[in-house]
Amino acid sequence: MSRKYFGTDGVRGPYGSDIMNESFAWRLGAAAARFVLAQGAPAGATVIIGRDTRASGESLEHALAAGLASVGLKPVSTGIVPTPAVSLAVRLEQAVLGVVITASHNPAADNGIKFFGSSGIKLTDEDELRIEQLLPPAAPANGAKKMPATAFLDASSLYKKTVTSLLPMITLKGWKIVLDTANGAACATSRDVLTQLGAELTLIGNQPDGANINAGVGSQHPEKMAAAVKAGGARLGIAHDGDADRCILCDERGEILDGDEILTLLALHALNEDLLAKRTLVVTVQSNLGVDAAIQAAGGRVVRTQVGDRYVIEQMLADGATLGGESSGHVICADVSPTGDGLVAALKVIEVMLATGRPLSELRRGLRKFPQLSAALTVREKKPFDSLKTLPAEIKAIEAELGTKGRVLVRYSGTEPKLRLLVEGPTDAIVLACLNRLKAATRADLEVL
């Protein structure tokens, strides 16, 4: 049975929609409480709740907390904190569940709810399906608007203390860094950690107002960061998304590094130092084939999963790997955190820069990408692939033409009404032609908005 409400990363949708409102948040809180109690959690056990800077976050938090409390759990608020801070707090406080109210990189009009288990790891597909099955039919009249007596936990300080310890104090004295926090959850935490380590910061996306999260800034829009790096002579730029579980970097020349480049850089250094656990890097099917070539040439191996950082984490646990992530900028350094952490990823890269004495523009050369293009087409309806006529046939034709010299990846987004297309091939011209063919085939089968 497939899940109805949960996608790749929790439940997500426009605020005020059928699945993202106070009534549904109350129901989801009650169902999650029933789920953990059925697994043996004691009555009164702690659930830690964090959120990003969206205007709708506080009201949804109150409703979710009321739902949790209605079934006998104790909701504890952290206020506005990065997603990885909630994962850390769950582990340190021995909570039975963690919840983050965020729509990650989506616009401010959206919001979402995602869960972490007691180990600080995101719940599995099976866990989420069980929560859906435990949803009460309705929230009580006005019940979703009543906030229970909720305790507060300073998860921000816990997180900053933990992350700051990754590098010696004042290590970054004399370093100019551009930091773009997407007007999101990491505006204070990433700034404070980097400042405490001695960095001189230029700040972008650090004035959240509830409506400007991810708006032209952050990991989805790194252009301002890149321009500021070049203009100010910074050593690097760091950009997060709204809940700061992603990291996109910029080298001293103003050139952007995506998740594939960050992961390859970290993996190659670890392989060289014989520190990469199981000599394995875990990525998704979205990552460039150049990653495999670079890691294999260095004596390591690459394991691929379906798209979604929690699937990467599950595979890492299965393989005993400690490094993995996605091209989108989710980087999981399991020796520090079992979830994507944008600040930890940046500090790990800085650690390599310090150890080698090489600038980011040189370190990134370890990855030579295959020519690749992608597109995200907004569609009115996500029709099942087996009901489509033109697109599946075009995919097969392109795959036959590319053979072993490229690949095609077509999938629906798990968090947005979009069809994502990706083509890799031997030349830029071939890749562009193939992508245009996929776009045309998509429009023949689906209503593209």
**Greater pLDDT, 161 or 1:** 161
Q: In sequence order, what are the residues at sequence separation of 6 or more whose Cβ sits closer than 8 angstroms to the Cβ of residue 76?
A: 46, 47, 48, 49, 93, 95, 150, 151, 152, 153
Tell me how far apart the alpha carbons of residues 340 and 202 are, in angstroms, rounded to a whole number: 24
**Greater pLDDT, 192 or 140:** 192
Confidence of residue 101 (pLDDT cuts 50, 70, 90): very high
pLDDT digits (tens, 9 = 90+) for 261-320: 999 999 999 999 999 999 999 999 989 999 999 999 999 999 999 988 999 999 999 999
Place domain 172-254 in its CATH homologous superfamily.
Answer: Alpha-D-Glucose-1,6-Bisphosphate, subunit A, domain 3 (3.40.120.10)
State the average pLDDT for the chain.
Answer: 95
- 372-378 mean pLDDT: 93
User: What fold characterizes domain 372-445?
Assistant: TATA-Binding Protein (3.30.310)
- What pLDDT was estimated at residue 180? 98
**Percentage of the chain exceeding pLDDT 90:** 92
* CATH number for the domain running over 258-366: 3.40.120.10
**Percentage of the chain exceeding pLDDT 70:** 99
The torsion region of residue 143 among left (phi > 0), alpha (psi -120 to 50) and beta comes to: alpha
pLDDT digits (tens, 9 = 90+) for 63-86: 999 999 999 999 999 999 999 999
Confidence of residue 137 (pLDDT cuts 50, 70, 90): very high
- What pLDDT was estimated at residue 139? 87
**Whether residue 104 lies in the annotated active site:** yes
Instruction: Read off φ and ψ for residue 122, nearest 5 degrees.
Output: -60, 150
- N- to C-terminal Cα separation, the chain: 30
Burial of 266 (0-12, 13-18, 19+ CB in 10 A): buried
* Residue 351 pLDDT exceeds 80: yes
* Residue 143 pLDDT exceeds 70: no
Confidence of residue 145 (pLDDT cuts 50, 70, 90): low
* Residue 150 pLDDT exceeds 80: no
> Residues spanned by CATH 3.30.310.50 within the chain?
372-445
* Residue 33 pLDDT exceeds 70: yes
Instruction: Order the strands of the 6-7 sheet from edge to edge.
Output: 6-7, 10-14, 110-116, 97-101, 46-51, 74-80, 151-152
* Residue 144 pLDDT exceeds 70: no
* Residue 376 pLDDT exceeds 80: yes
Q: Does the domain formed by 6-157 have CATH 3.40.120.10?
A: yes
Annotated catalytic residue, options 70, 104, 156, 219? 104
Task: State the pTM of this model.
Answer: 0.90
Q: Are strands 10-14 and 6-7 parallel, antiparallel or unpaired?
A: antiparallel
* Residue 414 pLDDT exceeds 80: no
Confidence of residue 394 (pLDDT cuts 50, 70, 90): very high
> Residues spanned by CATH 3.40.120.10 within the chain?
6-157, 172-254, 258-366
Burial of 162 (0-12, 13-18, 19+ CB in 10 A): middle
- What pLDDT was estimated at residue 373? 92
- What pLDDT was estimated at residue 141? 77
- What pLDDT was estimated at residue 157? 97
- Mean pLDDT lowest among 53-62, 147-156, 214-223: 147-156
- 399-408 mean pLDDT: 90
- Mean pLDDT lowest among 227-241, 348-362, 407-421: 407-421
* Residue 35 pLDDT exceeds 80: yes
User: Do 136 and 27 meet the contact criterion of CB atoms below 8 Å apart?
Assistant: yes
**Greater pLDDT, 259 or 7:** 259
